[in-house]
Chain A
Amino acid sequence: MRRPGKTTRRTAATASAALALALGATACGTATGPASGGELSGQTVTVAGVWTGSEQKNFKKVLDAFTAKTGAKTVFVPSGDNVSTFVGSKIEGGNAPDVVMAPQVGVLRQFAKEGWLQPLSDEAAKTAGSSLAPVWKDYGSVDGTYYGLYFKAAHKSTVWYAPQAFAQAGVAAEPKSYADLLKAGRTLADSGRPAFAIAGEDGWTLTDWFENIYLSQAGPQKYDQLAQHKLKWTDDSVVKALTTLGELFKDKQLVAGGAQTALGTDFPSSVEQVFGPEPKAGMVYEGDFVGGIAKDQFGKKLGEDAKFFPFPAVDGGSAPVVSGGDAAVVLKDGKNGKAGMKLLEFLAGPDAAEVWAGAGGFLSPNSKVDLAAYGDDTTRDTAKSLVAAGDSVRFDMSDQAPAAFGGTKGAGEWKLLQDFLRDPSDPQGAAAKLEAEAAKAYGN
């Protein structure tokens, strides 16, 4: 009788958590800072973004810095997860925010296609041009017009590991190639700790695995072509990358608990398997945000109990840096577009980024940001690696794809890579299925 009782309690907890979330989401934006006699005093800039919790708190610090500099009042409006629906309805309602932080490149493109965006001012474009690698401009542009300023970036080419597990297994050097990575993984397995925790229940982690391998193995040109579906998924390079990935997936020593368990593991649990109280694996691959979870949820000290190394190069290519980011855009329909553009000019400079860098949980693609501004060495290293990668940075391919292919639970690329994890024996067949789904979603 005790077990059902426990379950009910957990459900109650889940329900109340959901309720708290819902309440939090409906809570309205709050104005910050009194107007002091700056150049924009008396004006209010409204900023919409997906950020909640500590991210929202830290972004507000950036907005406060803007207020202190210019005297403009700032309001942050949480948009909820579906930014495009939110912004669309606000524009219809004649109440558009001035600035939106677009969380994916697809959202930015959609906004530009709808004709909602103002191009960056010359000033903002110039500041950005001097500090951001050109690739960020490309991802911020649609049909040659520069709309989106990348302010916050994610680094999705970091393999996180428990140093104790490496020491126990006697793996001294961080792997520099994919072959080394698998070898280190096997040594780890020999020591009794399976190599990788793979979050197979969340399809997006599998697409990130594939993208890193593909970017390094096939190179950035092919990566771009595949992202736009100018290259077919049945291409040999895709089959080769899937075969390379399958080498890891099919090895029982490398996947903690085997594919079956991996498919029942969601992303937070995969971090728990490495950094939680009962470790079941030695490494987990995902973005820089793994560090945040290891630190906040499992009390690990970054750089000591939780370390990372860059995703290693595959087959002699250069090491991949897959990224993503939030771009600031100015809406045409905002009431204070000019002041909004001033905010973008501010965000393009290093000062804004340094404010958030100090608060933590943030990476800036801006090369002028003082690395000393970051709170800890691990974050500093990720930021350094991101900036150093310069033009070879590529955005998450599945984020660039139509949602039906690259962003839907239980469908498209997510589902097919999950099937591939379950049975990695036929890369050719998997590639064919991926191509069929991609052709349907891209419509080309």
Chain B
Amino acid sequence: MADTLTADSGTADSGTAKSSSTAGTRTARRPADPRRLARRRKRRLAILFVLPALLLLGALVVYPVVFSVGRSLFDADGDRFVGVGNYAAIVHDPATLKAIRNSTIWVVVAPLLLTGLGLMLAVLTEKVRWATAFKLVLFLPMAVSFLAAGIVFRLAYEQDPDRGVLNAVAVGVHDTFDDAAAYPTARIREGQGLTGRAGGPYSTEKGVRTGGSVSLGFVGVAPDAVPAGAKAAAAPAPAADGIAGVVYLDFAPGGAGTPGRVDPGEKGLPGMTVEAVRDGRVAATTTAADDGSFRLTGLADGEYSVRLPAANFAAPYQGVNWLGPALVTPAIIGAYLWVWTGFAMVLIGAGLAAIPRDALEAARMDGAGEGQIFRRITVPLLAPVLTVVFVTLVINVMKVFDLVYIIAPGPVQEEANVLATRMWLVSFGGGNDQGLGSALSVVLLLLVVPAMVFNIRRFRRSGA
């Protein structure tokens, strides 16, 4: 690269020398026009100065773009011309369509949210006392690399509340208001007198007459999940005035015992809520004692079904599945907001400082409320800054890669992919189909172009 540069500038030099000598001979024949000569020399000099930059641009931007466009017309190996085949594949490949959908969500949502948040924070920080410190803290994430931010958020979004901060909060808050069920894993043994869907409620298959007794066996409770106070279960003695029974763990250590019977070594399940139900109405409710026994009293004579409500078996609250297929893109956008809010805020804050104070004062004098001032004066005056922030963010969001690549776990990677990650994965991440990858990069380029053109136009206008 450096060699060609020097060589080129060398020829350019000699070219200038030669032409000036021809100009010299021409002077002898015709009356000279020094102004034209000077202009021509000036233009040559300009080209000479621009040349290195042009060469660099050509080698690093124009050549790769042209090459990619060409490459996108060939197949994976690069030997066979397939025309627009790769572009057709983009439209037909569901994984790529998902990436396009996600990119659209990103481009629409992220810049809007960021600009809005930035504007809000900029206006608010202007009015607090510790504005600088506040701004500094909000701007700090900009100093964190996407890779590091990705790792941090991957951890924060973990499903397991012991590892993921967000779910630790979610579960903590949830459990403060809603107690966890006593036996989330317990379930009935099939064909032993109880029926019900997994997770409860379970009720007896046959009705139980008052004066009768039932034993309700459960399995699936780990030995260390049985409350410490639980005692060995005992078969209940029938009660005259109601229904007696026992709720017990129908599983003795080592698998001994007969299913459906209270065997020695099997423990009661204290705290289980039991109901007697007739005609869909709960007639009596009680809780099992330490040995699992219970007594439903005060029942009118007749047949009841004994029911264990689902509340006994509710699965513990797992928190939010942040990195599941549905929430993964919003979650990653959240991480992106964390990184970029500071940028939007500082830029908009600078614009805010430049707004003429007298306009605001005048409005206040005229009795405008703060909301009115914000809507009618601040935002319109800030519009140019807001547009710059918005367009810059659109371009930035288009090429988001690291966060998506790091935060999305394997199983949902396809659901989280954006065009940039999809392009990379298709080209280098296993498939090695650089034809399709090039086609994707061309699509990405075409999508960025309008934003670029818009930005350049704006720069021109403000320069003029």
- A residues bordering B, Cβ < 8 Å? 3-4, 7-8, 10-11, 14-15, 167-171, 187, 189-193, 200-203, 252-253, 260-261, 263-264, 403-404, 407-412, 414-415, 418-419, 422, 441
Contact = CB atoms under 8 A, between A and B. Distances in A.
A119 B217 CA distance: 67
A260 B410 contact: no
A321 to B, nearest CB: 27
Nearest to A6: B165
Contact of A403 (B151, B187, B417, B430): B430
B132 interface: no
B321 interface: yes
Nearest to A403: B430
Q: Top 9 closest A-B pairs, CB basis?
A: A170-B255, A410-B413, A408-B430, A192-B222, A404-B431, A190-B219, A418-B411, A170-B254, A403-B430
Contact of A191 (B222, B324, B414, B431): B222
A441 B432 CA distance: 10
Interface string B105-139: 00000000000000000000000000000000000
Contacts of A11: 148, 151-152, 155
B411 A411 contact: no
Contacts of B165: 3-4, 7
A264 B409 contact: yes
Contact of A264 (B159, B222, B223, B417): B159
B225 A7 contact: no
B429 interface: yes
> Which residue, of A167, A202, A253, A410, has the highest number of chain B Cβ atoms within 10 A?
A410
A192 B168 contact: no
Contacts of A419: 411
Interface residues of B, number: 44
A7 B155 CA distance: 7
> Which residue, of B155, B156, B220, B223, has the highest number of chain A Cβ atoms within 10 A?
B220
Nearest to A191: B251
B323 A264 contact: yes
Contacts of B158: 264
Given A4-B165, A7-B165, A441-B431, A201 B222 contact: no
Contacts of A189: 219-220
B351 to A, nearest CB: 31
Contacts of A193: 222
Interface string B189-226: 10000000010000000000000000000011111010
B168 A253 contact: no
Contacts of B432: 403-404
Contacts of A412: 430
B185 interface: yes
Contacts of B151: 11, 14-15
A10 B410 contact: no
B355 interface: no
Contact of A192 (B148, B225, B318): B225
Contacts of B155: 7, 10-11
Nearest to B408: A410
Interface string B421-445: 0000100011111000000000000
Given A4-B165, A7-B152, A408 B429 contact: yes
Contacts of B409: 201, 263-264
A403 B428 CA distance: 11
Contacts of A201: 409-411
Nearest to B321: A260
A7 B156 contact: yes
A123 to B, nearest CB: 38
16 contacts: A3-B165, A7-B156, A8-B152, A11-B152, A169-B254, A190-B219, A190-B251, A191-B255, A192-B219, A192-B220, A201-B411, A403-B430, A408-B425, A409-B410, A410-B411, A410-B414
Contacts of A4: 165
A168 B254 contact: yes
Nearest to B169: A3
A14 B318 CA distance: 26
A255 B254 CA distance: 21
Given A11-B148, A168-B253, A252 B411 contact: no
A441 B429 CA distance: 13
B290 to A, nearest CB: 19
B429 A263 contact: no
Nearest to B155: A7
A192 B431 contact: no
Contacts of B254: 167-170
Contact of A410 (B152, B159, B225, B425): B425
Contacts of B168: 3
Nearest to B417: A410
Interface of B: 95, 148, 151-152, 155-156, 158-160, 165, 168, 185, 187, 189, 198, 219-223, 225, 251, 253-256, 318, 321, 323-324, 408-414, 417, 425, 429-433
Contacts of A200: 411
Contacts of B318: 260
A202 B411 CA distance: 8
Given A171-B255, A192-B222, A410-B417, 9 more contacts: A3-B168, A14-B151, A15-B151, A190-B219, A191-B253, A191-B255, A203-B411, A264-B323, A410-B412
A408 B422 CA distance: 13
B430 A261 contact: no
> Which residue, of A10, A253, A409, has the highest number of chain B Cβ atoms within 10 A?
A409
Contacts of A202: 410
B337 to A, nearest CB: 17
Nearest to B185: A192
A403 to B, nearest CB: 5
A8 B409 CA distance: 20
Nearest to B198: A252
A15 B155 CA distance: 13
B255 A408 contact: no
A408 B95 CA distance: 14
A442 to B, nearest CB: 12
A170 B221 CA distance: 15
A380 B187 CA distance: 41
Contacts of B156: 7
B101 to A, nearest CB: 16
Given A404-B432, A408-B429, A415 B414 contact: yes
A419 B411 CA distance: 8
B327 to A, nearest CB: 13
Contacts of A192: 185, 219-223, 225, 251
Contact of A261 (B95, B159, B219): B159
A317 to B, nearest CB: 28
A223 B208 CA distance: 56
> Which residue, of B148, B251, B410, has the highest number of chain A Cβ atoms within 10 A?
B410
Contact of B220 (A190, A403, A415): A190
B430 A404 contact: yes
B253 A407 contact: no
B258 to A, nearest CB: 13
A187 B223 CA distance: 14
A34 to B, nearest CB: 43
Contact of A409 (B255, B323, B413): B413
Contacts of B159: 260-261, 264
Nearest to B89: A440
A145 B225 CA distance: 60
A282 to B, nearest CB: 11
Given A3-B168, A192-B225, A201-B409, A169 B255 contact: yes
A428 to B, nearest CB: 18
A404 B155 CA distance: 28
